[in-house]
Amino acid sequence: MATIAELGTRIELVSMDSHFHDISIALYEQKRERSRVALVHSYSSKDGVSERLDAVVDSMAILGGLERLDSDSSEVHFACGTWHRAAAKRAFLEACKLASDQAAEARPLEAADGRSGQEICVQGQGSGRYRVYAEGAEDESKSRAPAIARGLAKLAELDLDDDGVTVAFDCGQDHDEIVGLLLVRALNLRATLRDDAAASSRGTLAAPSAQEQT
Ligand SMILES: [Zn+2]
């Protein structure tokens, strides 16, 4: 059995995968010389586990823009070389929600904001910068763009510009997949943060038994 030290630090856990025998699947972060990578791992020894993990990794690639380190490994990283932990965790959670035969689709950079009725659009400015626009606001003071930019900055650990509506990845590279993935979450920031808190407390409770499984 692989030790925890070899796996790295567990940063996210799906304690019951409803698409595959309720196994637990976890995301482990590992320090490498230049950056960090993550490993998608399960202690389950059921037949078909490696295919399930493969499907999760494939979905993470589409949803979050992560890449496999090697074609046959379940280790992933970001091509930019910077480790975007919050985005990796979100891509992992969303990937586990999909059945193995369900094709993942990258999320668009626009979404309707149900609460205000405004159309939110995020435009890439190059070099990892994204500007949030809101269409349909009566006047600028009612625009949801600043709130959504703050939400994106918080969820993806981005820098928020002084203009209040532009966010930037510190790696200076574009990450359309991450922005699309988190945009819907940023629209409902409070609910997202509540869900995350609930999920991580469940994860803590599930930790000892998950680590004992062979
Ligand atoms: Zn990056």
pLDDT digits (tens, 9 = 90+) for 69-92: 988 889 999 999 999 999 999 999
Residues having C-beta closer than 5 Å to ion ligand 1:
80, 82, 169, 171, 173
What is the predicted pLDDT for the residue at 33? Answer: 82
What is the predicted pLDDT for the residue at 205? Answer: 47
3-state secondary structure of 109: coil
CA of 25 to the centre of ligand 1 (A): 25
CA of 128 to the centre of ligand 1 (A): 8
What is the predicted pLDDT for the residue at 73? Answer: 85
Same domain, 173 and 97: no
CA of 173 to the centre of ligand 1 (A): 5
CA of 81 to the centre of ligand 1 (A): 7
Examine residue 196 and state whether it is found in any structural domain, yes or no. Answer: no
Same domain, 55 and 23: yes
Examine residue 164 and state whether it is found in any structural domain, yes or no. Answer: yes
Same domain, 85 and 62: yes
> DSSP assignment of 34-102, as one string?
SSEEEEEE-----TTHHHHHHHHHHHHHHHH-EEESSTT--EEEETTS---HHHHHHHHHHHHTS-TTS
What is the predicted pLDDT for the residue at 206? Answer: 46
Same domain, 119 and 148: yes
CA of 130 to the centre of ligand 1 (A): 13
CA of 129 to the centre of ligand 1 (A): 11
Examine residue 70 and state whether it is found in any structural domain, yes or no. Answer: yes
Same domain, 8 and 76: yes
What CATH number does residue 122 fall under? 3.30.1360
3-state secondary structure of 28: strand
CB 145, CB 163: distance < 8 Å = no
Same domain, 97 and 33: yes
3-state secondary structure of 16: strand
> Which of 105, 134, 165 finishes a domain?
105
CA of 37 to the centre of ligand 1 (A): 13
The tally of domains found in the chain comes to 2
Same domain, 14 and 99: yes
CA of 47 to the centre of ligand 1 (A): 35
Same domain, 30 and 17: yes
Taking Cα atoms as reference points, which of 64, 76, 53, 156 lies closest to residue 105?
Answer: 64
Examine residue 65 and state whether it is found in any structural domain, yes or no. Answer: yes
Examine residue 211 and state whether it is found in any structural domain, yes or no. Answer: no
Say which residue the tokens 């493969």 belong to.
54
Same domain, 100 and 13: yes
Give, for all 214 residues of the chain, the pLDDT tens digit. Answer: 455 558 999 999 999 999 999 999 999 999 988 889 999 999 999 999 999 999 999 999 999 999 999 888 899 999 999 999 999 999 999 999 999 999 999 999 999 998 899 999 999 999 999 999 999 988 888 999 999 999 999 999 999 999 999 999 999 999 999 999 999 999 988 888 888 777 666 655 444 444 444 3
CA of 82 to the centre of ligand 1 (A): 5
What is the predicted pLDDT for the residue at 102? Answer: 94
CA of 115 to the centre of ligand 1 (A): 31
Same domain, 17 and 97: yes
3-state secondary structure of 27: strand
Please list, in sequence order, all residues whose beta carbon lies within 8 angstroms of the beta carbon of residue 105, skipping any fewer than 6 positions away. 62
Same domain, 95 and 122: no
**What's the full length of the chain, in residues?**
214
Give the number of other CB atoms < 10 A from CB of residue 204.
10
Same domain, 99 and 152: no
Range of the domain at 134: 110-191
